[in-house]
Amino acid sequence: MTDLRLADPGHEGSWLNDPVHRRYLRADAERQVRFFALSLRGDGGFDALDHDAQPLLRQGQELHTTTRLVHSFALASAAGFGGTEEIVDAGMRYLWTVHRDPMHGGYLWSVDENGVHDGSKLAYGHVFVLLAASSAALIGHPLAQTLMEDILTVLDTRYSDEGRALFQDEFTRDWQVFSDYRGMNANMHGTEALLAAYEATGDRRHLDRAGDILDFFTRSMAGEYGNRIPEHYTSDWEVDPDYSGNPMFRPAGTTPGHSLEFARLMLHHWDLAGRPEGDTVGRARALVTQALSDAWREDGGLVYTLNAAGGVAIPDRYWWPVTEGIGALASLLKISADAKLEAWYRRLWKFAHGALIDRERGGWYPELGEDGRPVSRQFIGKPDIYHALQADLLPLAPGLSRSIEGLRDTRGA
């Protein structure tokens, strides 16, 4: 395939409005869709793929893999890419008939050909079920309403934390508490899912709950911690500065990439709420500016984590913080032109184009070594389409919210 140029160097104004750049975004999205469509198995499940789109040895299909494929291919369907409905349909059916636990309710974290691989019930996975069901509803999937009703009941009855808007985190398969951990990550993605649920249903409760979660993390916590957001909390939602868990999913310290995600979600919520007067845009910009300042490496890319003092803790470069920076910057630039933010948007895309995107086979390399070449330390193969596809498609949508509706209007543009 002949590679498209990243942008037209002669274009005046933002890359968001550059026809060459917009064709580039669609071309990369199309390559991703073709690549990850190959993950579908004959039994309706999905394989993890190596860099060449060959199935990796199965270690159990995780809930967030299934759900994020559904959400991503719903976005791709709205954007007009072919062959997406089969993935959405397979994923929805797999969620309802395989991940869903008919014995105890809720959704199993990991399943395999023998049944339950890991029966843990994690908020992180369950909020993605809501995201998948909401996105599928927005493209008219027949199972979406049933799945949405079920997952909303589970989230309300199992994960609501003593009347708070915040979600508690983890249970055994039969809903026994096995830790008092509370985390930002599940709540951030819970916000994302609630906003999608509001778009799908119009139920104001979802929008209001998302707003309460955002206030806690992006106003209270970010305000107290210098526009950085602590990741880990005790059972009474006090910051736990000594917590260190799984080095990939629960590293110590703060994660600049999550500040970038939260900034985009703040603007998404603000838009759905009617763009009320206040400081939302300024706070979102402050989160983005701090994260990019903290995390950008001189040799390109964004570091993974910071220590309590704001210094670099884990300098590794992963793809997803770059994609989330792109999404947050695109949202801010849709509100108003800004030369500094535009420069950052272009810087991130140039880095992604040169170091992260596999323009021959499709998909993004998830991890780079010190020499700037792809490595497989934390990630084997190409783990999913979710972050990178949104980096392509969300800038194409005209607004800050209702992206599925907006992407339909971009077809052929």
**For the chain, percent of residues with pLDDT exceeding 70:** 99
**String of DSSP letters for 66-112:** HHHHHHHHHHHHHTT-TTHHHHHHHHHHHIIIIIB-TTTSSB-SEEE
Q: Which residues pair with 39 in a beta bridge?
A: none
pLDDT in tens, 84-102: 999 999 999 999 999 999 9
Find the catalytic residue in 21, 99, 206, 387: 387
Beta-sheet pairing, 61-62 with 121-122: unpaired
Which distant-in-sequence residues (6+ apart) come within 8 Å of 273 by Cβ?
207, 211
Pairwise CA distance, residues 263 & 138, whole Å: 24
Q: What is the pLDDT of residue 162?
A: 84
Q: CA of 125: how far to CAs of 93, 129, 133, 378, 406, in Å?
A: 16, 7, 13, 20, 27
Instruction: Indicate the number of domains in the chain.
Output: 1
Classify burial at 63, counting beta carbons within 10 Å of its beta carbon; exposed 0-12, middle 13-18, buried 19 or more: buried
Output the pLDDT for position 1. 42
| Residue at token pair 């990630």 | 379
* Nearest CA among 214, 174, 173 for reference residue 190: 214
Q: Which residues form the domain of 236? A: 15-408
DSSP bridge partners of 156? none
- Residue 7 forms part of a structural domain: no
pLDDT value for 250: 92
Task: Give the pLDDT confidence score for residue 4 in this predicted structure.
Answer: 79
Is residue 259 situated within a structural domain? Answer: yes
What mean pLDDT comes out for the span 181-210? 98
Q: Is 41 exposed, middle or buried (0-12, 13-18, 19+ CB in 10 A)?
A: middle
User: Catalytic site residue 258?
Assistant: yes
Residue 21 lies in a domain: yes
Q: Is the pLDDT of residue 2 over 60?
A: no
Q: Of 146, 161, 99, give the one whose Cα is nearest residue 125.
A: 99
Whether 3 is in a domain gets the answer no
The whole-angstrom separation of Cα 326 and Cα 390 is 9
Q: Is the pTM of this model over 0.95?
A: yes
The per-residue pLDDT for 58 is 78
Q: What is the dihedral of CA 114, 115, 120, 126, to 10 degrees?
A: 130
Q: Is residue 165 part of a domain?
A: yes
At residue 413, does pLDDT exceed 80? no
Task: Give a yes or no: residue 65 inside a domain.
Answer: yes
- Cβ burial of 2 (10 Å; 0-12, 13-18, 19+) is exposed
Residue 387 is among the residues annotated as catalytic for this protein: yes
Q: Which of 64, 99, 258, 269 is catalytic?
A: 258
Residue 118 belongs to some domain of the structure: yes
Mean pLDDT of the chain: 96
Rounded to whole angstroms, the Cα distance separating 366 from 406 reads 28
- What is the pLDDT at residue 119? 97
Residue 413 resides in a domain: no
CA–CA separation, 392 and 16 (whole Å): 11
pLDDT at 57: 84
The rounded Cα 142 to chain-centroid distance in angstroms is: 24
Give the pLDDT confidence of 24-66 residue by residue, as tens digits.
Answer: 999 999 999 999 999 999 999 999 999 999 999 878 999 999 9
The proportion of the chain whose per-residue pLDDT surpasses 90, expressed as a percent, equals 94
Q: What is the domain-level CATH number for residue 138?
A: 1.50.10.10
343 pLDDT more than 80: yes
Structure tokens at 167: 């979600």
